[in-house]
């Protein structure tokens, strides 16, 4: 440990600016952090310039510290902050971090990238989705590390085929104090944030902090509002003087969001007008919804506007919503069993309830109800009534990542790790009623403990799906690390063995991958059909309802089944310091991404299997007191990519393996700080992707000509720049730009979203009052030149796509008070 300390001190004195960040912050789990701290630090030590870190590991990894994060718009999602790094492209849905977005990493979409907080997996356990608006507030993050294309050997995820993003929670301060921020900005943006630090107290030096956040803003495209509240706390207990500790972190986040209307390419090109040069009213939501008053003995038909009210209120902002409640508890512990034997334990619990809104029109005599049901309370069953109809997901997830580390020599260690990740994943869609203004009685519908459900005459609850799954990951890994040749050669070799299982239960009839029909009706068997498990498909009586009850629709029977996926995945890396400033590295890692829940719940059991990635990295690093340079060439052979296909003749959507995809490219970054008050940063990436075969078309017997085509959503070229200038002690200025090339929107490469450039500006004015040196006023301007652009896109394998319009120029002023 003394050797590590001496290296750290040498690295500190060599820096032109900034602080030395502990190696322990570099990794995902506590176990990986300790292993890297034991043997990873090279002769010259890790260096960081103005918040950008040269990470000394034998793989492509980039990192940013709190120093850099604090210059970005306060409160923005951490995924927006890393958008400046090579290979990363994040498309934010707004400028404030509360409305979500999407991320790609070296050509892999968010469902194939693992997001972790302190080593705890945050991807949805069912579909692996990442929810940027639910992440920890930026002020509480000490560091974020991005593994480009690979995982760590103990990464507790079944989703990461394309790399990992891990951010680290701030450790409580030794001194009592507090930080408070008030932010105001465009779109009626308001942000109120505060953290209180206890400082070290008691006989054992315990320390803690507690934090609260509230933000709200209007939607930049028109009617709609976004509200977010978040509460966090951490208690940290050091154990002795050898680095042992225990810690508990609590997090709760609540979002109440209205959706932002998506547009197609034609609407984007027409800039908000129709072909008749009239305003395009489909770009925004209606501010009000007029529903007919219930009236016994007469027909109220919310499917038309013939009686003068808004047709079904489908365009009303109040039912186009995206609510979520999420929370977690994360424990961490490190314990020396002997001087050279260390045990780490990281347990966690996560809770989620969320949906994306939804509504449907029901006829009160729909056969799905078996007998007529009065839905609007007027005493008859003559009406067609609008109901709130969300797909709600409720998850309880328990995880444990543990390691036993043996440092059997000064420069060598061996680790064994075990992870269990157990998620109970409930997917339901209980309907509830709207009030007379068109707002749902509860944003989570008729879910147990929330809103009143719609109870049918047979005693069942009206719902759009009813699924329960258990996802269980048992993972074993072993890893060796060692330094040789006067510590210039670093060798890292490991094996990861994930055993992943999904227990799936579908309590409704399934039409295709996404659409179910929940009823107690008696179905009719369709002769000569098969659901892939030797059971026939069924149909239901025809009705005047749009809810999948037509005789033309065929359904699979309710079923329970189990799928398993396992593999042994090597993870090898080597780096060599050519000189004090130059080093080279190479790595090879195999990754596994098991099929998502929806891919397995289709009408038929298709041949979906795990996606396997084989990633190779070759890289070079240069680091001096004023200059950091990295460059890498990489390749990822990606097998068994899962896509959603649509059989037009049968009218069903299903999932299948479409073959292999080859990805390769080069990326790099440079950070130069010629003076203490001036620094420059730039990154660039070139990404190629090639689909290796054609895939089934829109009807059986046809194929889509995808062979040789590129993946959608990924720009071939992208880059970023940033300049920081501190002209005086009280003024700091920064400007940064992100450049994104054209992106295909489908797998046949017939439609393309145009490229764009975004510039941001930040200025900080120090206001030292009452000897509070860290008090300042910060101004952030997002999209400085008000560029019109397409942000997040919804890829379509075969045709046109819909897009998230990019946010306009946005101002945020923040007063930061710290004591």
The pLDDT of residue 208 is: 98
Is residue 306 in some structural domain?
no
pLDDT tens for each residue of 718-759: 999 999 999 999 999 999 999 999 999 888 899 999 999 999
Reported confidence tier of residue 800, pLDDT bands at 50, 70, 90: confident
State mean pLDDT over 60-76: 93
The CA distances from residue 651 to 517, 543, 549, 552, in Å, are 15, 18, 14, 9
Strand partners, 463: 430
3-state secondary structure 304-343: CCCCCCCCCCCCEHHHCEEEEEEEEEEEEEEEEEECCEEE
Is residue 89 in some structural domain?
yes
Is residue 717 in some structural domain?
no
State mean pLDDT over 15-19: 27
The CA distances from residue 390 to 102, 250, 659, in Å, are 22, 29, 34
- Quote the CA–CA distance of 430 and 452 in Å, as a whole number: 9
428, 416 Cβ separation under 8 angstroms: no
Q: Please determine, for residue 16, whether its predicted confidence score (pLDDT) is greater than 60.
A: no
The pLDDT of residue 510 is: 86
pLDDT tens for each residue of 316-352: 999 899 999 999 999 999 999 999 999 999 999 999 9
The pLDDT of residue 199 is: 97
The pLDDT of residue 186 is: 97
The pLDDT of residue 603 is: 59
Q: Which H or E run includes 13?
A: helix 2-14
Is residue 110 in some structural domain?
yes
- Of the two residues 114 and 762, the one the predictor is more confident about is 762
Closest CA to 68 of 685, 720, 769, 686: 720
Average pLDDT, the chain: 86
- What does DSSP assign to residue 29? S
State mean pLDDT over 130-140: 94
Reported confidence tier of residue 545, pLDDT bands at 50, 70, 90: very low
The pLDDT of residue 622 is: 94
* pTM summary value: 0.91
State mean pLDDT over 449-470: 92
370 is written with which tokens? 């078996």
Q: Please determine, for residue 530, whether its predicted confidence score (pLDDT) is greater than 90.
A: no
State mean pLDDT over 85-91: 95
Q: Please determine, for residue 293, whether its predicted confidence score (pLDDT) is greater than 60.
A: yes
- Of the two residues 699 and 193, the one the predictor is more confident about is 193
The CA distances from residue 794 to 118, 713, 745, 751, in Å, are 30, 8, 7, 12
Residue entry with tokens 């009534």: 385
Reported confidence tier of residue 302, pLDDT bands at 50, 70, 90: confident
The residue out of 169, 187, 215 marking a domain boundary is 169
- Quote the CA–CA distance of 225 and 215 in Å, as a whole number: 11
- Of the two residues 697 and 683, the one the predictor is more confident about is 683
State mean pLDDT over 627-638: 94
* 787: Cβ contacts below 8 Å, ≥ 6 apart: 756, 757, 758, 759, 806
The residue out of 110, 136, 169 marking a domain boundary is 169
The pLDDT of residue 480 is: 96
- Of the two residues 130 and 800, the one the predictor is more confident about is 130
Reported confidence tier of residue 5, pLDDT bands at 50, 70, 90: very low
The residue out of 169, 196, 231 marking a domain boundary is 169
Reported confidence tier of residue 146, pLDDT bands at 50, 70, 90: very high
Q: Please determine, for residue 21, whether its predicted confidence score (pLDDT) is greater than 50.
A: no
Q: Please determine, for residue 231, whether its predicted confidence score (pLDDT) is greater than 60.
A: yes
Percent of the chain with pLDDT over 90: 60
- Quote the CA–CA distance of 338 and 106 in Å, as a whole number: 42
Reported confidence tier of residue 587, pLDDT bands at 50, 70, 90: very high
pLDDT tens for each residue of 639-650: 888 766 554 444
State mean pLDDT over 482-493: 93
The pLDDT of residue 656 is: 61
Is residue 74 in some structural domain?
yes
Is residue 210 in some structural domain?
no
Q: Please determine, for residue 12, whether its predicted confidence score (pLDDT) is greater than 50.
A: no
Burial (CB count within 10 angstroms: exposed 0-12, middle 13-18, buried 19+), residue 819 = middle
- Quote the CA–CA distance of 85 and 92 in Å, as a whole number: 15
The pLDDT of residue 13 is: 27
- Quote the CA–CA distance of 475 and 348 in Å, as a whole number: 16
- The CATH number of residue 123's host domain is 2.170.130.10
Reported confidence tier of residue 217, pLDDT bands at 50, 70, 90: very high
Reported confidence tier of residue 552, pLDDT bands at 50, 70, 90: low
Percent of the chain with pLDDT over 70: 88
- Of the two residues 412 and 5, the one the predictor is more confident about is 412
The pLDDT of residue 17 is: 27
Give the domain extent around 550: 509-557
684 is written with which tokens? 């660039």
Is residue 320 in some structural domain?
no
pLDDT tens for each residue of 167-179: 999 999 999 999 9
Reported confidence tier of residue 370, pLDDT bands at 50, 70, 90: confident
Burial (CB count within 10 angstroms: exposed 0-12, middle 13-18, buried 19+), residue 769 = exposed
Is residue 143 in some structural domain?
yes
Q: Which H or E run includes 68?
A: helix 66-69
- Quote the CA–CA distance of 737 and 781 in Å, as a whole number: 12
The pLDDT of residue 312 is: 67
- Quote the CA–CA distance of 523 and 525 in Å, as a whole number: 7
Number of domains in the chain: 2
- Among the residue ranges 97-106, 449-458, 542-551, 693-702, the one predicted with the least confidence is 542-551
């Amino acid at each position: 440990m003394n050797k590590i300390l001496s290296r750290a001190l040498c690295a500190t004195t060599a820096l032109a600016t900034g602080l030395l960040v502990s190696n322990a912050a570099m990794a995902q789990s506590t176990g990986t952090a300790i292993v890297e701290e034991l043997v990873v630090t090279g002769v010259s030590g890790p260096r960081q310039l103005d918040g950008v870190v040269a990470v000394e590991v034998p793989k492509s990894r980039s990192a940013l510290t709190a120093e850099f994060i604090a210059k970005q718009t306060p409160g923005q999602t951490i995924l927006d902050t890393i958008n400046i790094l090579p290979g990363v492209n994040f498309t934010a849905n707004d400028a404030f971090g509360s409305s979500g977005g999407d991320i790609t990493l070296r050509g892999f979409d968010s469902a194939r990238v693992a997001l972790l907080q302190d080593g705890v997996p945050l991807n949805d356990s069912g579909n692996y989705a990442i929810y940027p608006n639910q992440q920890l507030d930026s002020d509480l993050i000490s560091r974020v590390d991005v593994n480009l294309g690979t995982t760590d050997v103990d990464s507790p995820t079944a989703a990461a085929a394309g790399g990992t993003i891990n951010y680290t929670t701030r450790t409580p301060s030794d001194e009592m104090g507090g930080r408070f921020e008030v932010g105001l900005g465009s779109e009626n943006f308001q942000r109120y944030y505060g953290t209180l630090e206890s400082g070290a107290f008691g006989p054992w030096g315990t320390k803690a902090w507690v934090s609260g956040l509230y933000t709200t803003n209007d939607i930049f495209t028109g009617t709609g509002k976004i509200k977010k509240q978040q509460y966090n706390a951490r208690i940290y207990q050091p154990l002795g003087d050898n680095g042992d500790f225990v810690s508990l972190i609590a997090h709760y986040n609540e979002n109440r969001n209205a959706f932002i209307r998506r547009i197609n390419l034609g609407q984007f090109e027409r800039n908000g007008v129709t072909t008749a040069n009239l305003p395009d009213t489909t770009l925004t939501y209606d501010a009000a919804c007029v529903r007919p008053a219930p009236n016994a003995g007469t027909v109220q038909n919310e499917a038309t506007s013939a009686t003068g009210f808004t047709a079904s209120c489908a365009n009303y902002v109040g039912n186009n919503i995206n609510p979520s409640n999420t929370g977690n508890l994360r424990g961490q512990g490190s314990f020396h069993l002997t001087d050279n034997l260390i045990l780490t334990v990281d347990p966690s619990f996560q809770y989620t309830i969320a949906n994306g809104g939804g509504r449907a029109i029901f006829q009160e005599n729909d056969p799905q109800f078996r007998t007529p049901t009065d839905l609007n309370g007027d005493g008859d069953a003559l009406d067609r009534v609008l109901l709130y109809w969300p797909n709600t997901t409720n998850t309880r997830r328990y995880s444990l990542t543990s390691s036993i580390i043996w440092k059997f020599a000064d420069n060598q260690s061996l680790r064994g790790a075990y992870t269990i990740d157990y998620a109970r994943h409930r997917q339901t869609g209980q309907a509830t009623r709207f009030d007379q203004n068109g707002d749902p009685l509860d944003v989570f519908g008729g879910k147990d403990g929330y809103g009143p459900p719609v109870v049918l005459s047979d005693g069942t609850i009206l719902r759009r799906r009813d699924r329960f799954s258990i996802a269980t990951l048992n993972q074993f890994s072993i890893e060796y690390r060692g330094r040789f040749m006067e510590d210039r050669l670093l060798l890292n070799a490991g094996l990861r063995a994930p055993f992943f299982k999904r227990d799936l239960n579908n309590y409704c009839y399934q039409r295709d991958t996404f659409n179910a029909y929940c009823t107690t009706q008696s179905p009719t068997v369709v002769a000569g059909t098969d659901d892939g498990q030797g059971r026939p498909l069924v149909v239901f009586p025809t009705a005047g309802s749009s809810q999948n009850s037509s005789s033309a629709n065929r359904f699979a029977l309710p079923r329970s089944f189990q799928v398993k996926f396992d593999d042994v995945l090597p993870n090898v890396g080597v780096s060599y310091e050519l000189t004090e400033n130059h080093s080279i590295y190479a790595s090879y890692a195999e990754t596994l991404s098991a099929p998502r829940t929806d891919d397995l719940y289709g009408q038929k059991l298709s041949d979906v299997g795990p996606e396997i990635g084989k990633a190779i990295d070759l890289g070079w690093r240069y680091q001096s007191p004023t200059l950091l340079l990295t460059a890498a060439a990489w390749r990822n052979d990606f097998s068994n990519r899962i896509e959603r296909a649509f059989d037009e003749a049968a009218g069903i959507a299903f999932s299948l393996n479409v073959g292999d995809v080859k990805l390769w490219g080069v990326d790099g970054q440079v950070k130069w700080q010629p003076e203490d008050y001036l620094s420059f940063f730039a990154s660039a990436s070139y990404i190629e992707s090639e689909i290796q075969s054609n895939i089934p078309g829109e009807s059986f017997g046809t194929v889509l000509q995808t062979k040789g085509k590129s993946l959608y959503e990924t720009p071939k070229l992208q880059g970023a720049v940033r300049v920081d200038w501190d002209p005086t002690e009280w003024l700091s200025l920064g400007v940064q730009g992100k450049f994104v090339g054209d992106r295909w929107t489908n797998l046949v490469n017939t439609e393309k979203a145009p490229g764009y450039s975004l510039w941001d500006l930040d200025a900080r004015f120090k206001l030292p009052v009452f000897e509070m040196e860290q008090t300042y006023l910060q101004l952030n301007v997002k999209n400085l030149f008000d560029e019109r652009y397409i942000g997040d896109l919804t890829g379509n394998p075969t045709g046109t796509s819909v897009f998230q319009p990019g946010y306009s120029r946005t101002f945020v002023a923040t007063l930061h008070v710290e004591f």
